[in-house]
Structure 1
Amino acid sequence: MHRLSRPGLAIGAAALLVVGLSAPAMAASVPMTLSAPSGPSQGGNTLTGTTTTAVFNANSAVEFQYVGTGAAAACSAVYAAPAAVVVAGTPPVQTAGILAVPAANVRLLSTTKLGITVPATVALAGGQTTAKYNVCVYSGTVTGASGSPLIANAAYSIAAKPVISAISPSTGPALGGKTVTITGSNFPTTAGALTASIGGTALTGISVAANGNSFTANLPAKTAGGPYTLSVTSAGGTVTKANAFTYTNGIVVVPNTAPNTGATLPDIDIQGVGFTNLDFSMTTGATPNDAKSHVYLVDGKYDPTTNSGNKTIGEVAECINVLVVSDTEVICSMNLRSRISTTGTYTTVAARTVADGATTNASTTLTSATAAFTSADVGMSLSVASNTQVPAGTTIVSVTNPTTVVLSAAATATATGVSTTIGPRTAASVTTVNASTGVTAAAPQFTVADVGRSITGTGIPAGTVISAYTSATQVTLSNAATAGGTVTMTIANPVPVPNGTYTVAVISNGAVDVQAGGASEDANYTESIISSGSTFTVADY
């Protein structure tokens, strides 16, 4: 003590006392950017705080100082003694609180970056739905007038963490556009305060119920798959629900009805998802069961499982000449004039035999009480085995009534009980051009009645019909020839797809038994599902 009485020492002690009581000299606090400006009530989440100036060190200390609902308060100039949360008022809300972050929860990442785990005490109190804090970083934990100065600060808010209970429906079409409802709690009602996604794809048109316990949203388009995780994010943080939603391979077909008559194949527009990943290069109608992608018309649910080498439930028609507009849209021409058989081939009306034909010498009239002639017989071949009553190459020119027809050539004898065969006819010396739909005959071979009829021959894709009549020597086909040359062709009446209700199905692989577990399993095989959007009706307008 007596040493302190010496004048020099006394003066020094006084000087020290004055310095200790004066406000410390300090650099101004710098702004800090948080990795997230908000988070859940009761903390537990980790933030990073970054500055553009090197201010952090191993002694840096962090506090969450309550701001309140009024004008934003600033961090205290020096480290403040932690203070318990104060709740007051009616309804009761937090009015104060200084919450220190334990040193173990402050990680020095660099002189410009800290890792901060938010304490559980940073929580909503009373009837609050949100609360504001300042995140205050100090050079240490010394309190008082000469305590550790503020070196960085940032604003932070908390909110109740959202809770997901369920999503309804839990499946939807890949093309999106449907509405889902998510139930739970703590969904903020302020516009734009809530976002959500399924499998990382954002939901749109979010509308939160007034009570904050549910919201509706529009499904975006997404490639079929799942079940995907549902994520919901608000100021209270992000929550997820695994295996919440499955995108089904649904499509919408427009128009969804067409007749099975007429030479022009109706074009349809199909909307879905994932079309650019499909290879429609062979959908000319030639090989409906090949391993390329196809658009089929199916009577029921498509099933490629083998049944004696054929599909259990295969296509009855194919939408040919597929044009991919975008990943979500294709256009194709539905061939309803030619039904595809269970073996994957296009069917035509077989020849039929009439045993009670009657001819008159030099007359072009033929009668039969049992033939039941129709307009479909016009242009068809009519032959007699011995050719003694009807010249070879004769065709039916017109149908007078169900028992009488007019022939292209006069009968050479009068007879009754003539056995005649009525069916497909051949057209000789017909010239095709590779990649062209035009067909030219050396002599008159065609009639207007041939429009819509099946035509087969070398270089003509299966399922081809005559789509337009120009003259007796020139017609247009529905598919371009795959080879050029002069050949003999067969013209027949196709068997149309019967009137009824069907399903349009987009198939990634049209071969037999390619489903999971099949002998020809394709690991990437996909098919669109049956839905109201995929229904297609074959009927007269």
Structure 2
Amino acid sequence: MPRSRVRMIMTVGAVGAALLVAPQAAYAVPTTVGPLIVVPGGTVTLNDPTANFNTTTTSVLLTQPTAALPGCPGTFALAGGNGLWNGTVNTRTAGSINFTVPSVNGPAAGTNGTVKAYNVCVFDGTTQNASPLKASTTIYVGYPAAVNPTSGVTGGGNQLTVTAPTSAPLFTGLTAVAGVFSTGSCAAALGSTNPANMVATNVVRQPNNTTVTLAVPPGVTSGTGGSPMTYNLCLYDGSSATGGLLTFLQYTATSATVNPASGSYLSGAGVTLTSPTAFLSGVTAPGALLVGPGGGCPGTYSTAPMGTVTPIAITSAGGVRRLSNNRAVVNIPPLPLMNNQPTTYQVCIYTGAAAGATLVGSGAYTASVVANPTAIMPAAGPASGGNMVTVVGTDFPTDPGRITATLGGAPLTNIQPISDKAFTATVPAHAVEENVPLVVSTIAGTKALPGAYSYRNPIKVSPNTAPSTSPSVDVSVVGQGFMSINFGATGTAGRVFLVNGVYNGADAGGGVRANGPVAECMNVLPISDEELICTLQLNRRLNALGTAPFDSVTYSNSLNDVSTTAGSRTIVTTSGKFGPGDVGQPIVQGSAAAIPAGTIITSVLSTQRATISVPALTTSGGITAMVGAMPVHNLNGLTTTTGSTTVGLMSGAFTRDDVGRVLMGAGTVPGGVTITAVAPGGASATISAPATGSTSGTLANVTIADNSTILNGSSLATTDLGAIIGPNSIGIPPGTTITSVAAGTSATLSAPAPGGGTAASLPVVRPITGNLFAAAPVPDGSYNLVVVSDGAPDAPLTDPDYFQTDVTSSSAFTVASF
């Protein structure tokens, strides 16, 4: 199987910061690509030491993500300017390939040079439908902007200027620009749930359309221990919450590392402040303030009270000294403790010791006398215990036997000091419980870290992926305590749910759960207390109540304010009536032809925006439309036999799009079955339940005269209308249709019968009609399987013994196209 990876060249501290809107999964391998934003005609290098590229035939294909092909094809496909373009390979090795993005008739940037995502697909050859995919990632075609400065002090407040090239005025025509800082991905659209302390303030678009100024928000802080933290500065069209991504840049929050990071509160201590950035460049006589709990470093040097906190000035001779552009030494005086507990002070470094001097760096120093745990890693584990953790902090004794500790009241064992800042230990068994405290004790005293660790009830699922077309996937779930659960399908019985995120069975109104299941793993069979087997149905998602499959036959959503844009696949409704049930449903407008016939809603972006399967024909507003409540494919000439899961078509053909659709009105086929597979050529399809009757039969004791179209016989019935004559001995051409019937007497045929005669048994096929309604599979994506002891809504509130398994990496289940 080809490796599909997204890895980018990034700066130190930017892990995760450059993973932006990628359609493929990132793997923990040393794969890099750069630059991430490239202009048309620019060159890109992809490095993958494990790929073993063919050094003579490796090729590059660039694709634009679409609903039909969100990622790379599995084998090489011919480029043609319709979303598939060849990259010109410049150099290639076994682990690296350098290529040029086409500058003409190739991948294009967005409007005014904004970034636009494309897949990079690397194949070992150029043989159509044969050369395998070796590696893949995402790049952005656009015109990179620059930010000045590229870094600043932790806590924000400073001004930045973002400048786009004059050839690509990114901000042209925008009424507003929004900036969001993130240590992870830049979303494709602005959204309305960004943390307030990560949203840039005072964002001003300059009249030249190439410049934006903004203030760094307070949430942009340095990392643990004062290490630099790199953020993505994501710029959006700020005119609405759905404004698209314009570009992204990297910005680093710096803070000095203090060493040692703690000391006795009773005596002074000399500490150094070191930063990877030249924070003291041009500073000859720095000043320093110490700011206690409840306060932060003032932006400029001042000893004025800040509420209840008054900064402490370092005034002793030689109290602050510059050692280099990256390092200073500060003489910390004795400091008061708060509530006789370790007390952290901010050491704030300024360009001088006079009022108005600028803050250039900061770090944390703790006045302490007892061991001070600050974190436990990992911060969660199984209730059975036995796993090793590392406790980090300050002032730990380094002699074995000088430390004891408890986790949720149970003693840690095998404690092994690493340094005065860390020790390892083995976690004891404990009941399932969230956020238990860690208590560390030494001869100097005891310090608790509240909410340090969670004892989880994890499960491991296998397999952990399947396509959404699967009607039946048997899953093994490994965990504990399964034999004590009374599993069933209704009421307060235990259940196994597939959930998007963390299951929340609280009743949110009308029987809808706060975060209910998208599917249920049925027919639960506990094998032991540690394992159960259940069966997932992914080709039919559950309804909003989580009680039955979503019914696409009866589902409808009436809209009266739809707006379309010619050539766009996005439609808008200001009333906010789009919902998850609309996905996959047909949409038919009731007036002018802005939305083409046969259009399907492919995704719901928000309550006000959705995408459709084909572009709108015109720009229109106030359109009345109906979502659902109609078939998407009418079938004539259906055939089947009793007990068979195969249906045929005497005219027309099934298509791949019919997989997952619901078949109704077919008579001998149970209503509500789904199409699970389509045969090559589309002449037949497989259904999810066997037929209850047959379309094949016979007519008994019938006669016809030579060259006559009148078939006589007492067995003829009105249900024979439309029947098709099979091979026979009385000269009726096979395929002839009965066009009218006089019950018990005669029937008219569509063609005369040369020869004529009497047949004791004349074979016929009585084709039926049916309608295919929209499919309702579980949407592709990452979910979690959860075992709940009580599947009723509000069970956590009403069942004192209720429990559910936790969301962990081993409980993840991915629904994907393959």
Fold shared by both chains (TM-score > 0.5)? no
Give me the TM-score of the superposition, normalised by structure 2.
0.29
With CA pairs under 8 Å and 6+ residues apart, which has the higher RCO, 1 or 2?
1
Name the larger-Rg structure: 1
